[in-house]
Chain A
Amino acid sequence: MVKITLRDQEWEVEAGITVREAIEKVGLTPEMVLPVRDGKLITEDTRLEEGDEIKLVAVISGGSP
């Protein structure tokens, strides 16, 4: 299985699917997050491997800078 986290939320998805598919599977919009594996940004076509841990970084903020 692959662990996906976003802030304090956590999901598990099966290995073998792409990052984009995994993000959609847990009900998120890929355009709103950046996937990070082992501290490095990865592209959404990356195929997930057994034991992977993917941290999603939310990119949307609501206030004016």
Chain B
Amino acid sequence: MKCRKCGQKAAINMRHHKLALCGEHYQEWFVEQTARTIRRYKMFRRDERVLVAVSGGKDSLGLWDVLLRLGYQADGLYIDLGIATRFDYSGQSFEKVEQFVETLWPDAQLHVLDVNALYGATIPEAARISNRGRGKPCSVCGLVKRHEMNRIAHEMGYDVLATGHNLDDEVAVLFSNVLHWQTGYLARQAPVLPASHPGLARKVKPFCRFYERETAAYALLRGIDYIYEECPHAVGSKTIAYKELLAQLEAQSPGAKLQFYLSFLRAKEEGLFAAVQEREEGRLHACERCGQPTSAPGLCAFCRLWDRVAEVKRPPVPTTPL
């Protein structure tokens, strides 16, 4: 198969686009498509400061790289979650982020937040103590990452927070939410989540139209060394099961995933879930302590989580001998 642009041997064929490209033209195409997605969904302007959440994986490092190549003011944020089950996942992930900066963008600015140092427990430990997530730390992980990304973006004056979610991530979530008719979640799923409340950063997903295969191909061709190992807690997750199922559908019908996602976005633009969205936003109010939006009365789930951790980890008060 030959590259459509130069006729050289192709490195990748995208069946859903009927497009095969060589390594060089694929990278060019990938960067252009990202720029187009940013413009199409009005994600951010040239003069805005972007905070990119980086995990050491192919998507987030690829996104940071592309934004820097496009000339945006993009800084990175790495959150050390303290995951070291089976192997030092967090340590190895951070090494990849550091290596990315050293080898490709030595002038890029990286912020690092260590959850354990800041709050007194790693994510798996906090999950165990709080008993959230039925034995898996994934929900605590998501909660902490969302809160901290918001907080850092807000406190450090960033206009927008960018994450590396790709089309497969979006479609897997969409599929799950449709399967369970989670209308509240469906109403909130979009390439751009506006800063609808004080303390909430605008969130954007510039890779939302790329298949995961495409983001992986970009990382390989660009020479980005990313963490290849799966998070030990994600093994056997529902997201992976849905992605496998959807990959089979895609194999039978190229373009099915993209069509599913884009049709959903069109339906939303036409007003589907508008009433739900309004109702959901009306339920939110500021957390009494941190100020971030929450639907729970009083404190938000993040503040309650760390209160519980502090309660359990607090050293016992010495008793006075009789």
Assess whether B247 is interfacial by the CB under 8 Å rule. Answer: yes
Instruction: Spell out A's residues near B (CB within 8 Å).
Output: 29-32, 34, 36, 40-46, 57-65
**Which applies to chain B's interface (DSSP): helix, strand, loop or mixed?**
helix
Contact B13 A45 (CB under 8 A): yes
**C-alpha gap A43/B145 in the complex (Å):** 37
Which B residues touch A40, using CB under 8 A? 11, 23
**C-alpha gap A36/B220 in the complex (Å):** 10
Contact B213 A34 (CB under 8 A): yes
**Which applies to chain A's interface (DSSP): helix, strand, loop or mixed?**
loop
Name the one of A32, A57, A65 contacting B164, with C-beta atoms under 8 angstroms: A65
B276 to chain A, nearest CB (A): 22
Number of interface residues of B (CB under 8 A): 45
If A30-B251, A43-B20 touch, whether A65 touches B60 (CB-CB below 8 Å) is: yes
Assess whether B65 is interfacial by the CB under 8 Å rule. Answer: no
Contact A62 B235 (CB under 8 A): yes
Contact A64 B212 (CB under 8 A): no
Contact A34 B248 (CB under 8 A): no
Which A residues touch B195, using CB under 8 A? none
Please provide the chain B residues from 195 to 234 with a CB less than 8 Å away from any CB of chain A in the complex. 211-213, 215-217, 220-221, 228, 230-231, 233-234
Which A residues touch B250, using CB under 8 A? 31
Contact A63 B138 (CB under 8 A): yes
Q: List 17 A-B contacts (CB under 8 A).
A: A31-B250, A32-B247, A34-B216, A41-B12, A41-B23, A41-B217, A41-B221, A43-B20, A46-B1, A57-B220, A61-B58, A62-B230, A62-B231, A62-B235, A62-B243, A63-B231, A64-B145
